């Protein structure tokens, strides 16, 4: 039975009913990822990128307690203007936000959940959350990893965010049986950088290969999703030394200020943006566009598989 709290936008519903490719997109990048009006412009460009590559975009959000699979341009504008006043919603927040009739910006976790409710299999984002540095003390591990272990949605990203402990993030995904695919690479990309020095589980080079692997995973009845890591285009990648220095400075300041939990990632990304003179924000936008294009191609191949 369709979830009674779920609204599917008309063009998304039509595409799903006809077996056409659909790509889910998150809304935290709109409300918490960058300032207005750049956030709205970017969200609309990402949707256009999905269309240009043969799929229907479905930006996911919570508005007035309704789970939305697909937003109108007016709804995207509303989200962009309201910005960080909107709750950043993870799995634990959904019930209360719906019960209160409030808004929520969906993270990787909640975008996967709502996409799955709507019947959308493919989702493009910037970078996933993961195991935070120092997690052996703080136990700070993103709910994104648990969702990947349990919800059958393929996530296309530029790797885990570089502020995280990438080695432990891979270990956690392995423990939970989540395949980590490198799109055209054997090395895990590190968000702003193409290199981490860590190996992925498998390298797949085409949308068709990715779609077939995911289709077989579904046919085998294996629970959970699949992670496709797509390196940032070379011309937009940042120098590893510069980005790592900025991350270390940001982490030190977060520790000094006692920032923890769901406030950590937005704080660190904003601090890294400041320390890199805004270069990291531009890289972030370009990698999201790149992931949206690849996701649309994989969604098209999946629809034909």
Catalytic residue among 9, 68, 88, 161: 161
Contacts of 264 (CB under 8 A, 6+ apart): 132, 140, 254
The tokens for 304 are 């034909």
Catalytic residue among 9, 26, 77, 297: 26
CB atoms within 10 A of CB 253: 14
Main-chain dihedrals φ then ψ at residue 6, nearest 5 degrees: -100, 130
Contacts of 65 (CB under 8 A, 6+ apart): 5, 97, 98, 99, 100, 101, 102
Residue 161 annotated among the catalytic residues of the structure: yes
Angle at 175 between CA 172 and CA 179, to 5 degrees: 85
The tokens for 184 are 């055209």
Main-chain dihedrals φ then ψ at residue 37, nearest 5 degrees: -95, 5
Question: 86: phi > 0 → left, psi -120 to 50 → alpha, else beta; which?
Answer: beta
Residue 4 annotated among the catalytic residues of the structure: no
Q: Which of 129, 150, 124, 149 is nearest to 140 (CA)?
A: 129
Active site residues: 26, 161
């Amino acid at each position: 039975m369709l979830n009674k709290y779920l609204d599917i936008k008309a063009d998304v519903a039509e595409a799903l009913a006809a077996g056409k490719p659909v790509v889910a997109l998150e809304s935290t990048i709109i409300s918490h990822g960058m300032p207005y009006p750049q956030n709205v412009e970017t969200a609309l460009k990402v949707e256009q990128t999905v269309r240009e590559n043969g799929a229907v975009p479905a930006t996911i959000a919570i508005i007035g307690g309704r789970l939305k699979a697909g937003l109108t341009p007016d709804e995207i504008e509303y989200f962009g203007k309201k910005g960080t006043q909107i709750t950043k919603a993870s799995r634990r927040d959904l019930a209360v936000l719906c019960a209160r009739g409030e808004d929520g910006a969906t993270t990787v976790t909640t975008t996967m959940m709502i996409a799955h409710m709507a019947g959308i299999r493919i989702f493009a984002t910037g970078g996933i959350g993961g195991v935070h540095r120092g997690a052996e003390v703080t136990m700070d591990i993103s709910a994104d990893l648990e969702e990947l272990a349990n919800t059958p949605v393929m996530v296309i990203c530029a790797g885990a965010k570089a502020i995280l402990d990438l080695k432990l993030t891979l270990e956690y995904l392995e423990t939970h049986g989540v395949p980590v695919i490198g799109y055209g690479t054997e090395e895990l990309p590190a968000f702003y950088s193409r290199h981490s020095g860590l190996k992925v589980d498998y390298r797949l080079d085409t949308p068709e290969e990715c779609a077939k692997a995911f289709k077989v995973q579904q046919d085998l009845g294996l629970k959970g999703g699949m992670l496709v890591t797509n390196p940032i285009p070379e011309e937009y990648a940042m120098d590893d030394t510069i980005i790592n220095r900025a991350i270390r400075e940001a982490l030190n300041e977060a520790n000094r200020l006692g920032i923890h939990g769901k406030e950590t990632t937005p704080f660190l990304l904003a601090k890294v943006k400041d320390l890199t003179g805004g270069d990291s924000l531009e890289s972030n936008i370009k990698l999201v566009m790149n992931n949206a294009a690849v996701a649309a191609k994989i969604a098209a191949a999946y629809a034909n598989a």
